[in-house]
């Protein structure tokens, strides 16, 4: 990230929370919790990203997919590719209690430690045009079709530089915004008829 010694590509507050709270996992047909940053695996992303360490983190999909997908699944996890430098910083924040969301009194002023940390970090908007490289969001599905083992990886690969040239933003923000914008269009066109709060997997994927 050009011009910053340390940065997070999306909301710093959300990133710290998701990485440092116990993560939810769905294993062998039941929900379990794991300690933050305790479970990792190597995952090979599409080029030019390649092989990365992926840590299980807290994210909503794990809590909704097993309940709303419409078919039984055995395992479900969510992970972020986190470089060693970021993992070390996160562990120090947790060790010192700087990831806390509850206010503490400092010289007569109450402030949440995490608010101080995030106030010192750049916002996603400030990173536009300064991040180099690629971001990838994907879903890996393993199962069987007709008794045959099948593995499919559906993903979105975006260049931070291209996202800035086209939309004056960075790749992570672009990947986050597009699905919401498409969903808004589908609502406006009457192609999404559900009313209320629903996870994405209950919406018909074909119009999307």
In sequence order, which residues have a C-beta less than 8 Å from that of residue 158 and are 6 or more positions away?
134, 135, 136, 171, 174, 175
Does residue 2 form part of some domain?
A: no
What is the spatial distance between Cα 182 and Cα 203, in angstroms, rounded to a whole number?
Answer: 12
The string of pLDDT tens digits covering residues 32-79 is 999 999 999 999 999 999 999 999 999 999 999 999 987 889 999 999
| CATH number of the domain bearing residue 172 | 3.30.360.10
Does residue 3 form part of some domain?
A: no
Domain count, the chain: 1
Does residue 4 form part of some domain?
A: no
Residue 142, phi then psi, degrees to nearest 5:
-120, 140
Does residue 7 form part of some domain?
A: no
Does residue 128 form part of some domain?
A: yes
Domain that holds residue 33: 12-202
Q: Is 189 helix (H, G, I), strand (E, B) or coil?
A: coil
Does residue 38 form part of some domain?
A: yes
Confidence of residue 81 (pLDDT cuts 50, 70, 90): very high
Does residue 50 form part of some domain?
A: yes
Six-digit token pair at 111? 């402030």
Percent of the chain topping pLDDT 70 = 100
Instruction: Identify the pLDDT of residue 50.
Output: 97
Count of alpha carbons within 13 angstroms of residue 80, beta-carbon side: 23
150 DSSP assignment: E
The dihedral over CA atoms of 125, 129, 132, 138, expressed in degrees to the nearest 10, equals 50
Instruction: Identify the pLDDT of residue 71.
Output: 81
Six-digit token pair at 112? 């949440």
The string of pLDDT tens digits covering residues 83-93 is 999 999 999 99
């Amino acid at each position: 990230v050009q011009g910053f010694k340390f940065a997070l590509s999306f909301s710093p507050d959300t990133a710290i929370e998701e990485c440092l709270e116990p993560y939810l996992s769905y294993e062998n047909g039941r929900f379990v919790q794991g300690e933050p940053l305790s479970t990792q695996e190597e995952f090979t992303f599409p080029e030019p990203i390649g092989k990365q360490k992926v840590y299980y983190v807290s994210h909503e999909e794990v809590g909704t997919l097993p309940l709303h997908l419409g078919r039984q699944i055995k395992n479900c996890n969510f992970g972020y590719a986190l470089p060693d430098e970021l993992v070390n910083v996160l562990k120090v924040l947790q060790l010192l209690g700087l990831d806390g969301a509850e206010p503490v009194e400092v010289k007569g002023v109450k402030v949440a430690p995490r608010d101080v940390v995030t106030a010192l970090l750049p916002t996603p908007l400030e990173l536009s045009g300064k991040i180099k490289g690629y971001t990838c969001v994907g879903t890996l599905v393993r199962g069987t079709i007709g008794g045959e083992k099948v593995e499919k990886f559906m993903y979105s690969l975006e260049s931070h530089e291209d996202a800035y040239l086209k939309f004056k933003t960075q790749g992570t923000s672009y990947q986050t915004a597009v699905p919401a914008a498409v969903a808004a269009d589908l609502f406006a066109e009457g192609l999404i008829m559900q009313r209320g709060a629903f996870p994405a997997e209950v919406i018909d994927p074909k119009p999307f």
